[in-house]
Amino acid sequence: MDRLGSIMIKATTAQARFGNATPRVAETPSGMLNAIGLQNPGVDAVIAEKLPWLASNFPNLPIIANVAGFSNEEYATVSKKISRVQNVTAIELNISCPNVDHGNHGLLIGQVPELAYAAVKAAVSVSEVPVYVKLTPSVSDIGIVAKAIEDAGATGFTMINTLVGTRYNLQTRQPILANGVGGMSGPAIFPVALKLIRQVAQQTSLPIIGMGGVDSAAAALEMMIAGASAIGIGTANFTDPFACPKIIDELPNVMDKYGITDLASFVKDCQEEIRG
């Protein structure tokens, strides 16, 4: 764990959430579906129990805290509290939630530039650490949303969040997931992630933590070519709990294969090519 640049914890909300009914997870070719429903014990319990355990067992590991909410007030409340914890070095703001401030019309906060701006502004105004915003791919123009988030004062982006999909049980003819639909992740969404990362990199100046289907050192480098400054690994850890250290070990050989002598210089060169 100490070899990782950081660890992103799962979503934290103001109050405890029990999440969706089971089954919550389903396999799909080159990926998986999940419909966890933001299950978590609430911000006070995370601060009192979960974060101290991480600090005690991994004192040198920076924590990026994922903050979710259903109103600007909730984003501000959770961001203010969790940003004061010593081992939390940044916030990942999850704006793939419906907004109760303006009614739930089937739209997520991250799909509407004005709602995204307000949510990010609420968090940034009280947070004591940098705020990265997790972008949903389920938008007509991700660049417009990204610009609104940049204008609200975000430090950077994490992207992409999951796509929405479903699977059916042939015997019952019902969805496998109790929720009906879930977030699709894994290598199947990798090309989508590359396209959207490049689009945001071209239209904003903020750093991007790229994620979405990365399962090898080569895929990590490809995502950096698209515009990512750093890489997040998620689903690959389900198939192999040692995926992250294996990718770290694999990276020097892949860099050597493609004539990359310095990773920081490689990232800088890629971004200069994208942004001019």
pLDDT tens column, 45-86: 999 999 999 999 999 999 999 999 999 999 999 999 999 999
Question: What residue segments make up the domains of the chain, in order of their start?
Answer: 7-275
89 is in an annotated binding site: no
DSSP sequence for 159-197: E--PEEE--B-TTT-SBSSTTS-EEEESGGGHHHHHHHH
Assigned fold of 7-275: TIM Barrel (3.20.20)
For the annotated catalytic residues, the residue numbers are 97
pLDDT at 276: 77
Exposure string for 180-197, b = 16+ CB within 10 A, e = fewer? eebbbbbbbbbeebbebb
162 is in an annotated binding site: yes
66 is in an annotated binding site: yes
pLDDT tens column, 131-158: 999 999 999 999 999 999 999 999 999 9
259 is in an annotated binding site: no
Output the average pLDDT for the chain. 95
55 is in an annotated binding site: no
